[in-house]
Structure 1
Amino acid sequence: MIVRRRKNQFVLIAQHDHALISGEFAAHFAEPFEHFDSTVYAISHHDVAWVELDQAILWNEAKNQPYSFEDYPLAPKLAAYTKGISQVEETDRYAGMLCSKHYASFFEHASDPAGRRFREQELARQNNLLQRLSAQEKESVDSNFRLLQFCDDLSLAICLNEPQQNTHPWYADGIRYQGERYRWVWEDEHRLRLTPNLFAKPFIIEIPCRIVDDSRNVMKRDVFRYQILV
């Protein structure tokens, strides 16, 4: 769950809904990239692991707020990660490779034994998958993995900020990709553009959310609807 505090309320965005937006960004890139369908599938489904976890709101008693993807308990999160990567791999092994690399990267410097075991497990998965990829697929894995990370950041930068804001510390200075720094520029509450622009044409994104108060009541369900300009 992506959790955004708003006074005495919380805006909750499901991880898979955020990932689907990441896929929309990739699908609208003006410049072509190798293995388009598999890569867009990977980007769109990289957080499918969270679908089941995000159905219920798990409350962090210590912080008196919902758990987010950042502080969610590690054991169920790792189990979900493994299941989600396998689910993507069953549909498309190239996409499974990209998702495995994405999740393994979270634990590159892990101190927790469970995190280290998870990374070792995913590195073994990747070695197995490499044997089944074509030479052309192998050549594009690293560049499309970086594309996944970039599109993930583009979506997170919107989901973690209120409309017309770019204050979240992860993205306040923009997002680096291929030696360039990219920023979201808000024209108004419902329209924004990426600068420098990477998209072929304008498009609409819709981000479902739940609004929850600090008494744990779901106040309403809503949808953020934005037009991405070029």
Structure 2
Amino acid sequence: MIVREHDMGLVMIEQHEHGRLAGEFAKQLRSDVLHPDDPYADDLITAVYEHDRGWIALDKKPLWNDAMGRPYTFDDYPLEPKLEAYKQGLDEVEEMSPYAGLICSLHFLSFTQQAHEKLWQQFVSWEEKRQERLRRKLAIEKNDPAVLRHFRLLQLCDDLSLYVSMNEPGTDKEAEHPWFRDGFAHTEFLNPKAAKPLTAYWTEKERVEVKPSPFSESFEVTITYRKLAKERIRQMGGEMAYRASTPRTASLWIK
């Protein structure tokens, strides 16, 4: 779950919805960024859309963090059930497309916050074996530059979706979530002249601009979310308030 706090309560976005939005960004990439004749273009788009599908079941029944007054998020969710969900999601993506499974596995092993945990180290070992098996199946070398490029494109689309989800619409640059104030990590390859990362800005409450843009033109996207008032959470409890809430949809333009 992605949770954004505001004065009246919480804005909550399910992880798979965030993944769907990331997939919409992947579909809009310029042809020189993701060429339509790339033999794995469709597989990459599948990877971006589906990378967080392991969260589907967990987000239908959010685990409430009473100490924080909100659900556990993707960032602080208890490790054991989170890793079980990661594995299940990656198994399902691999069923859809072995190449998508490889790219998504690389994505998850790029997380380092819990690298000291024994459970995480076991997960890493499991996924390294998955990657080795899939590379053999696909006849892909370990350091294939095309695989690295696709992995970085997934990260870009993921980060841009998180940017939209974790920031209040219209937020000034200095007030943004700190992850994104200095641009999107590892995107310098898309801005070789300046050798700087791509950076997003809210130009209006319903408009985001990426500089330099990896997209050929402006396009509209939607995102579904739920809004929970603090008083309703107090009266009903977090899980019941979430179940009783009505999904809402917001539209915005990306340039």
Question: Which residue in 2 is equivalent to 1:175?
Answer: 184
Higher percent of residues as helix: 2
Question: Shift of residue 135 of structure 1?
Answer: 4.3
Counterpart in the other structure of 2:192 = none
Counterpart contact for 1:100–1:126, Cα < 8 Å: yes
1:200 to 188, 207, 216: 216
Corresponding residue for residue 87 of structure 1 = 92
Aligned to 2:54: 49
**What SS is found at the alignment partner of 1:75?**
helix
Q: 1:87 to 1:188 in 2, by over 3 A?
A: same
Distance 1:66 1:210 in 2: 13
Q: Could you say which residue in structure 2 is the equivalent of 1:18?
A: 18
The answer as to whether partners of 1:212 and 1:220 remain within 8 angstroms in 2 is no
Partner in structure 1 of residue 5 of structure 2 = 5
Whole-angstrom distance in 2 between the partners of 1:52 and 1:169: 29
Name the aligned partner's letter for residue 3 of structure 1.
V
Give the drift of 1:154. 1.0
Which residue of 1 is the match for residue 166 of structure 2?
160
SS at match of 1:175: coil
Task: Give the equivalent residue in structure 1 for 2:147.
Answer: 141
Query: What is the total number of aligned residue pairs between the two structures?
Result: 229
CA distance in 2 between counterparts of 1:145 and 1:197 reads 18
Q: 2:156 aligns with which of 138, 143, 150?
A: 150
The 3 A distance-change label for structure 1 pair 108 and 173 is closer
What does the per-residue CA deviation read over 1:23-74, in whole Å, with 9 as the maximum and x for residues that have no partner? 1111111123431100010011100111111111221012121111101111
Matched, 1:226 2:252: yes
Unaligned 5+ residue runs, structure 1?
Answer: none
State the TM-score, normalized to the length of structure 1.
0.93
- TM-score, length-scaled by structure 2: 0.84
Alignment-mate amino acid for residue 150 of structure 1: L
Inter-partner Cα distance in structure 2 for 1:187 and 1:76: 39
Which has the larger share of strand?
1
Letter in 2 for 1:16: H
